[in-house]
Amino acid sequence: MALSLGTRLGVYEVSAKIGEGGMGEVYQARDTKLDRDVALKVLPEAFTSDPDRLARFTREAQILASLNHPNIAAIYGIEEAEGTRALVLELVEGPTLADRIAKGPIPLDEALPIAKQIAEALEAAHEAGVIHRDLKPANVKVKDDDTVKVLDFGLCSRLSPVWRATHTHRVDRAPCGDWAHPATPRAPDRAARGPSRSSAAEASPVLTPQ
């Protein structure tokens, strides 16, 4: 359901609507208990009785909770009140990468640190068995201190334990957003060398106009 200014959802008081997409509406809200601003991603009312959408919404929360990286926006919890369900997320200030690209080409000395941080976020997700599947400039924010945050894991998939353990190269899709084939084993010193080429390659197109 749409939330208006001043609406309370548990301890959260809505202050503004800041985004909207197929998987939910996003609001800025004040945590009246911890005295901080957060983002609320609210499941659209039309989906609240759809078991598949509800499962996907819960899965997004669980996957985000399993990721802990400075370049991935954090989740604080799930809030539900009077039939409204919301993810409580880190509020990331600053423009999206799409906003930045719209102003013109990004100089190389700015683009490289952005690409590196996106690749590091994806690498952390991949190491946890998570594929974003919706990476685009609108889902990346650049804060005033130049920290990059990857957002919106609503369409992500998780690599199944079987996929990761068997070391085959199949790409069969499993139900419920999981993948049935295993990740390529990672070299022990990969973390020291930086993001893998696959993560870097996935990040590169995000810096170009769509």
Pairing verdict, β 130-131 and 157-159: antiparallel
With 90 as the cut, is the pLDDT of residue 118 above it?
A: yes
Q: What is the pTM of this model?
A: 0.76
Q: Which residues are catalytic?
A: 134
pLDDT at 102: 95
Q: What are the structure tokens assigned to 46, written together?
A: 């039309």
Q: What are the structure tokens assigned to 26, written together?
A: 């996003």
Q: Hey, what CATH topology would domain 97-207 get?
A: Transferase(Phosphotransferase); domain 1 (1.10.510)
pLDDT at 166: 61
Q: Summarize pLDDT for 71-96 with one digit per residue, the tens.
A: 999 999 999 888 888 999 999 999 99
The 3-class SS string of the chain reads CCCCCCCEECCEEEEEEEEEECCEEEEEEEECCCCEEEEEEECCHHHCCCHHHHHHHHHHHHHHHHCCCCCECCEEEEEEECCEEEEEEECCCCCEHHHHHHCCCCCHHHHHHHHHHHHHHHHHHHHCCEECCCCCHHHEEECCCCCEEECCCCCCEEECHHHHHHCCCCCCECCCCEECCCCCCCCCCHHHHCCCHHHHHHHHHHHCCC
Q: What percent of the chain has pLDDT over 70?
A: 75
Distance of alpha carbon 31 from alpha carbon 79, whole angstroms: 12
pLDDT at 186: 41
**Alpha carbons within 13 A on the beta-carbon side of 94:** 20
For the chain, the average pLDDT equals: 81
Q: Summarize pLDDT for 30-77 with one digit per residue, the tens.
A: 999 999 999 999 988 778 888 888 888 888 899 999 999 999 999 999
Distance of alpha carbon 140 from alpha carbon 151, whole angstroms: 6
pLDDT at 206: 60
More confident residue, 113 or 161: 113
Q: What are 20's strand-pairing partners? A: 25
Class for the domain spanning 8-90: alpha beta
pLDDT at 207: 60
pLDDT at 137: 95
pLDDT at 202: 56
Side by side, the strands of the sheet bearing 24-31 are: 8-9, 12-21, 24-31, 36-42, 84-90, 75-81
Question: Same CATH topology for 8-90 and 97-207?
Answer: no
| Identity of the highest mean pLDDT range in 38-52, 158-172, 174-188, 194-208 | 38-52
Q: Among 53-57, 73-77, 151-155, 164-168, where is mean pLDDT lowest?
A: 164-168
With 90 as the cut, is the pLDDT of residue 133 above it?
A: no
Q: Where along the chain do its domains lie?
A: 8-90, 97-207
pLDDT at 39: 97
Are the beta carbons of 121 and 94 closer than 8 angstroms?
no
Distance of alpha carbon 46 from alpha carbon 182, whole angstroms: 36
pLDDT at 43: 86
